[in-house]
Amino acid sequence: MGIKSFSRKRAIHIMLVYTGGCNGCDIEIVNAVLSPKYDIEQYNVFLTWNPREADILVVTGPVTRFNEDPLIKIYESIPDPKLVVAAGACAVMGGVYKNIHGDIPSEEIMGPVDNVIPVDAKIPGCAVRPKDILSGVVASLPVLLDK
């Protein structure tokens, strides 16, 4: 094991990006990361707001037109290797925002996330359950460390 992967294993940083949606998922994710019950730091995973520091990008929301470019920019400024986790029905499927108009497509929704950037893990739910986020992120760690 090289010094890089050794130290990385001790401090995985996730960055949370909101791209529309109702904020329900963001609340769940921040709670999951910070609350004593779920406490993501016990798995050596930390929250960051700096893309240059991030290893895992967690995206919530259906990616509105305004959010498309910023999301791509953030994705590109994360150093390799990186993983993208789409969290919540919005990020995975476009959620109610993309799917409840019947046959009228919405021009404001560019998502789901994998229309915009490549996605490595998908977590269902509206909102996502903290349990599912934790196990999704933890399950993707070996993938990240092997990259």
Partner 1 sequence: MRNLIRIVLEGAFSNFKRIFFAKDRVTDMELRNAILNGEVVPDPKVAEKACIGCGGCANVCPTGAIEMKKLNSSEWLAVGWAKTEIPELNSLKCVNCYHCHDFCPVYALFGEPATIHPNDVGELEVNVNDLIEEPIKISEDKINYISQYLSDKTVLKNKKSK
Could you list the residues that contact ligand SF4 (CB under 6 A)?
21-22, 24-25, 60-61, 88-90, 95-96, 126-127
Q: Which residue lies nearer to partner 1 by CB, 7 or 135?
A: 135
Cβ contacts of 17 within 8 Å, gap of 6 or more: 57, 58, 59, 60, 71, 74
DSSP 95: H
Residues 29-68 that bind partner 1 (CB under 8 A): 36-39, 42-43
Q: Which residue lies nearer to ligand SF4 by CB, 95 or 130?
A: 95
Whether residue 40 contacts residue 33, with contact meaning beta carbons closer than 8 Å, is answered with yes
Q: Name the pairing type of β-strands 45-48 and 12-18.
A: parallel
| Site residues for partner 1 per CB under 8 A | 36-39, 42-43, 89-90, 92-96, 98-100, 102, 122, 124-126, 131-132, 134-135, 138-139
